[in-house]
Amino acid sequence: SLTLGIVGLPNVGKSTLFNALTRNDVLAANYPFATIEPNTGVVPLPDPRLAVLAGIFGSERQLPAVVSFVDIAGIVKGASEGAGLGNKFLANIREADAICQVVRVFADDDVIHVDGKVDPLADIEVIETELILADMQTLEKAIVRLEKEARVKKDRKPVADAAKQAQAILDSGRTLFAAQKELDVELLKELSLLTIKPFLYVFNADESVLTDEAKKAELTAAVAPADAVFLDAKVESELIELDDESAAELLESIGQTEPGLHALARAGFHTLGLQTYLTAGPKESRAWTIHQGDTAPKAAGVIHTDFERGFIKAEIVAFEDLVAAGSMAAAKAAGKVRMEGKDYVMVDGDVVEFRFNV
Ligand code: GDP
């Protein structure tokens, strides 16, 4: 499955956040046989629709989709030169599907900042610069090789050109992700570049920032097109120890209506280009993870490969239509249940039953 690699400068709250991400009783209860690597945090994607479906179908249990985060050893300035853990760090990032940077916004004189002051945008630039430098090294070598190849094989020319275009973007100080609209991302895939991966920023903030909409809007705009999430890692690590009522009180005390991990799960899911569809029955109501743009047979394949191979059609009702009708039978009577074929592109919130040959 796809993962987000958690990176960040030392002392920004990565371990604190990761601790919250890995302490997940909901998941342990629902996926007892899943092996979860020690450096992986798996969080459920909050989905209030599952409880509604469970009510309609009398489902015994609810299974949300999940998002995986991998803890990547601390980056240091000079990582691209192989300093310290540099090389291992870059290799680990290469394996992640998206980059999730934890950025310190909280003020606390007891916690030392590696660069002496709390400056979120400067911290983002430090990490961005290391990744850009690593990509520039990759491209420098690749371009020499690709130009040679292009001289003998015509179809290598577009790749060589795309690499040179990417190099120019990095030279101007931008990441390839920020410039994705100008690039043919497909052509560059074989080069395993780092800054072409989608970015997500987690601003580790205290109450003063969490309740400051203007400040949050400013930081959000500064990192666009990446997603931005604001949370207090310390509070998140305390929330997971509390019962629902105490957790709600703690959240309210810092002006929040939901745990930051919920927003983080949603943003992580979005950053990875994922979406869900729903199935429901007396046994379980469940959200299944697919890629945005997946067709119905692809979606069926997530449940079982036989479902994809033997796909005939999908019986689909939009979640809202099902809820408005009150039951599957009523939705059918109201003409809200559609039969979709193999070219149908799934829409988030589709409640599905697949028909297939085995
Ligand atoms: P890492 O080096 O990025 O993994 O950072 P840690 O998670 O070890 O956090 C460094 C220090 O900052 C620890 O003493 C944490 O308790 C503290 N810390 C982490 N998050 C917060 C926060 O949101 N607010 C405050 N005040 N301190 C925090």
The verdict on residue 340 lying in a domain is yes
Per-residue pLDDT of the chain (358 residues), as tens digits, is: 899 999 998 889 998 998 888 876 555 555 555 555 667 888 899 999 999 999 999 999 999 999 999 988 655 556 666 655 567 778 889 999 999 999 999 887 777 776 777 789 999 999 999 999 999 999 999 999 999 999 999 999 999 999 999 999 999 999 999 999 999 999 999 999 999 999 999 999 998 999 999 999 999 999 999 999 999 999 999 998 899 899 999 999 988 899 999 999 999 999 999 999 999 999 999 999 999 999 999 999 999 988 889 999 999 999 999 999 999 999 999 999 999 999 999 999 999 999 988 7
Q: How far is the CA of 72 from the centre of ligand 1 (A)?
A: 16
ipTM of the complex: 0.95
Residue 302 lies in a domain: yes
Question: In angstroms, how far is CA 259 from the centroid of its own chain?
Answer: 17
The residue nearest atom 17 of ligand 1, judged by CA position, is 13
Which of ligand 1's atoms lies nearest the C-alpha of 232? 23
User: What atom in ligand 1 is closest to the CA of residue 16?
Assistant: 7
Query: Which residues are known binding-site members for ATP?
Result: 11-16
Ligand 1 atom 14: the closest Cα is on which residue?
111
Supply the CATH number for residue 347's domain. 3.10.20.30
Distance 108 CA to ligand 1 centre (A): 9
The protein residue with its alpha carbon nearest to ligand 1, atom 7, reads 13
- Closest ligand 1 atom to Cα of 102: 3
Asked, for residue 170, whether it belongs to a domain, the answer is no
Residues with CB under 6 A from ligand 1: 8, 10-16, 106, 108, 111, 204, 206, 232-234
What is the torsional sign of CA 343, 346, 351, 354?
A: positive
Beta strands 66-71 and 227-231, pairing class: unpaired
Report if residue 133 sits inside a domain. no
Give the total number of structural domains in the chain: 1
For residue 138, is it within any domain?
no
Task: Please give the annotated binding residues, written as ranges.
Answer: 11-16
Task: Give the position of tokens 């998002």.
Answer: 67
Asked, for residue 330, whether it belongs to a domain, the answer is yes
* Cα-to-centroid distance, 301 and ligand 1 (Å): 42
Residue nearest to atom 6 of ligand 1 (CA): 13
The alpha-helical segments, DSSP class H, found in the chain are 14-22, 25-30, 49-57, 86-95, 120-152, 157-171, 185-188, 207-210, 213-223, 233-239, 244-253, 260-271, 296-303, 305-309, 319-325, 328-333
Distance 6 CA to ligand 1 centre (A): 15
Q: Which residues contact 351 (CB under 8 A, 6 or more apart)?
A: 53, 277, 278, 279, 280, 316, 317, 318, 319, 322
Tell how far the Cα of 80 is from the centroid of ligand 1, in angstroms: 25
Q: How far is the CA of 294 from the centre of ligand 1 (A)?
A: 39
**60 is a domain residue:** no
Domain that holds residue 313: 293-356
User: Amino acid letter at 333?
Assistant: A
Residue pair 180/152 in contact (Cβ under 8 Å)? The answer is no
Residues 85, 74 contacting (CB under 8 angstroms): yes
Q: Residue 305 falls within a domain, yes or no? A: yes
